A = this chain, B = another copy of it.
């Protein structure tokens, strides 16, 4: 077993999970802040140089897990949990790419949040490179998107 602890908390517009955009075509453009705990603020040095960050966070309000998920993105069809972004995972860790808009001391202003207000953050990392669209296959998500377009 490994242990982790919050280094920051999210301030987002989402108070309930039903408010978070989901499903085919959902766009994550919500703005908010990542509030570092003061003891970790020095770890942000030079972060302003990045346009995008990875946020690793804890689904702290999820309970238990399912190996087979039924994501709303695909009308309830079954998929392996590791093929989905379901919160009900063996280790309930979330991953979100955000755009870094600015920094005020321990507070990072970001765009692209898709987590609840008050969510604990475990780590921040620079987003350094992308897979090109030509190389990318997106499995059942692509099929679900095709089905959602009449």
List residues of A whose CB falls within 8 A of some B CB: 1-5, 7, 40, 42-52, 54, 56, 58, 60, 67-68, 78-85, 89-91, 93, 95, 97, 120, 122-133, 135-142
Contact = CB atoms under 8 A, between A and B. Distances in A.
A78 B122 contact: no
B126 A139 contact: yes
A44 B139 CA distance: 12
Given A2-B58, A7-B90, A80 B46 contact: yes
Contacts of A136: 51-52, 127, 129-130
A50 B128 CA distance: 21
Lowest 7 CB-CB distances: which A-B pairs, in order?
A49-B139, A45-B80, A130-B130, A51-B137, A42-B67, A4-B91, A82-B124
A85 B7 contact: no
A82 B5 contact: no
A75 B120 CA distance: 33
B137 A83 contact: no
